Structure 1
Amino acid sequence: MQKQSRRGEHMSNYVIWKYASYPAGCVLQDISGFEDTYKLKNGTPLTGQFPRGVSLHMNPDFPDDLALGDSLLNSDMIVVGSARLKDFLIARAIPNLEFLPVAIVDHKGRLASEDYFIVHPTVPVDCLDRKASAYEEDILDPDSIGFISKLVLDEAAIPPDRQIFSMAGYWDLTFARRDLAEALIAAGFTGIRFIEPSEHPES
């Protein structure tokens, strides 16, 4: 059942997972040691194929930002989460979700942590309400969406057990079911916030 906002509008049962800044939170550059990064975007299952030694390096443009929270800002716009976040999600038995181990390397090339994971939803869901949304198709790939100026989800197309998922054809967003989002916020994880689909794109 959908909730209602204070204005009486129906809210989606799903929200968009975003990064939330926190004091001295580190900023990461591109992934090192894994070239097929498009597979992290299109939901290709990687368990058993993801190589060892994959790392993300802190951006030298932010030399004073060293804090490692539960979710780390990165240029690939993927969810890089702590072991604590991974354990929380595993306990919820979320289907079609992988945890791919990565190391975090500091500005001086030293290992900062080996206890981080890419939170990788597989099997993207074709759930854009194309009649209610406003979007542009990718001119090079008709199966992909280049830009969405008004995002409306076709919630009937989303399997009810999908607590975290990506949208087929539009890879830069990670969605969470509202009850999961509320549980994450209540648990006090750092580096995580959520916005409504109607708030995308953020101004």
Structure 2
Amino acid sequence: MDYFVLTTSAQAGGVINDYPQGSPAIWKFGEGLRMAHEFPLHAEVCFSPLFPTFDKLYDFQSTTLSTPVVSGRVRRVIDSLSIHNAELLPVVLKNHRGEDVPGEYALLNLIGAENAIDMQGSDYKMNHIDKEQIGRIKKLRLQKDAISADAKMFRCHRMRRLTLIREDVAAAFHDAGLTGFRTYRAEGWNGLEI
């Protein structure tokens, strides 16, 4: 089974850089914890004023957060693939003028993590603040035997901001015509999103 790095990458897409008001503590979003029980009802996220000309809509909306914003189309594909560790936290998406954007959107919070990174075979630098987390990958090697057979879309235990997806998930995203994302073959990935 092959795995791919999943990133959001949308040309001139509206960028989200704040979690909804009343959200759980920001650090929790990067930990792979369930948060539906503490997530605010009627949560809103807005296009960032730091990127005033970026206003296009995609299925994977660009964020500066550790949790991507995804459309209802992404939700339906995730549901059809029975990805049970995907917690979708509903949000209303607002444009630069504060107007509601049509459609369903949610923060995609992946629960848990897989011990997928081969720490001996990979080339990386550890995070200077969180010494248990990788800060930058230069060459990624996977230990596929440590990845659960049912893990289809997941965070990596030693680099929780890194999302990997199985090849069947990548194919389903492409086949569904989803927009605003990129995939890179995980084995040998150099950490660059170009």
Considering the TM-score relative to the shorter chain, is it more than 0.5?
A: yes
Q: Residue 188 of structure 1 aligns with which residue?
A: 177
- For residues 16-37 of structure 1, give each alpha carbon's deviation from its aligned partner in whole angstroms, at most 9, with x where no partner exists: 1112324x52222221312512
Alignment CA distance shift 1:200-1:113 (3 Å): farther
Q: Do 2:90 and 2:107's aligned partners in 1 also have CA atoms closer than 8 Å?
A: yes
For 2:18, the aligned partner's letter is D
Structure 2: gaps (5+ residues): none
Structure 2 Cα separation of the partners of residues 150 and 57 of structure 1: 35
Q: Do 1:42 and 1:168's aligned partners in 2 also have CA atoms closer than 8 Å?
A: no
For 1:124, the aligned partner's letter is A
Q: Within 5 Å, which residues of 2 pair with 1:48-197? A: 48-113=37-102, 115-197=104-186
Runs of 4+ in 1 over 6 A off after TM superposition: none
Q: Residue 25 of structure 1 aligns with which residue?
A: 13
Which secondary structure does the structure 2 equivalent of 1:174 belong to? strand
Q: Do 2:29 and 2:66's aligned partners in 1 also have CA atoms closer than 8 Å?
A: no
For 2:169, the aligned partner's letter is L
For 2:37, the aligned partner's letter is G
Q: Residue 201 of structure 1 aligns with which residue?
A: 191
Structure 1 Cα separation of the partners of residues 103 and 40 of structure 2: 14
Structure 1 Cα separation of the partners of residues 66 and 112 of structure 2: 18
Per residue, is there more strand in 1 or in 2? Answer: 1
Q: Do 1:29 and 1:75's aligned partners in 2 also have CA atoms closer than 8 Å?
A: yes
Which secondary structure does the structure 2 equivalent of 1:193 belong to? strand
Task: Among all aligned residue pairs of Structure 1 and Structure 2, give the percentage whose two residues are the same amino acid.
Answer: 27
Q: CA RMSD in A?
A: 1.9
Which secondary structure does the structure 2 equivalent of 1:29 belong to? coil
Which secondary structure does the structure 2 equivalent of 1:48 belong to? helix
- For residues 10-56 of structure 1, give each alpha carbon's deviation from its aligned partner in whole angstroms, at most 9, with x where no partner exists: xxx1101112324x522222213125122221101113222223322
Q: Do 1:95 and 1:161's aligned partners in 2 also have CA atoms closer than 8 Å?
A: no
Q: Do 1:104 and 1:111's aligned partners in 2 also have CA atoms closer than 8 Å?
A: yes
Q: Pick which of 185-194 and 143-152 moved more.
A: 143-152
Q: Do 1:143 and 1:169's aligned partners in 2 also have CA atoms closer than 8 Å?
A: yes
Structure 1 Cα separation of the partners of residues 48 and 113 of structure 2: 30
- TM-score, normalisation: structure 1: 0.85
Equivalent pairs, count: 191
Structure 2 Cα separation of the partners of residues 145 and 190 of structure 1: 28
Structure 1: gaps (5+ residues): 3-12
Q: Pick which of 193-202 and 125-134 moved more.
A: 193-202
How far the C-alpha of 1:157 sits from its partner, in A, is 0.7
Q: Do 1:14 and 1:177's aligned partners in 2 also have CA atoms closer than 8 Å?
A: yes
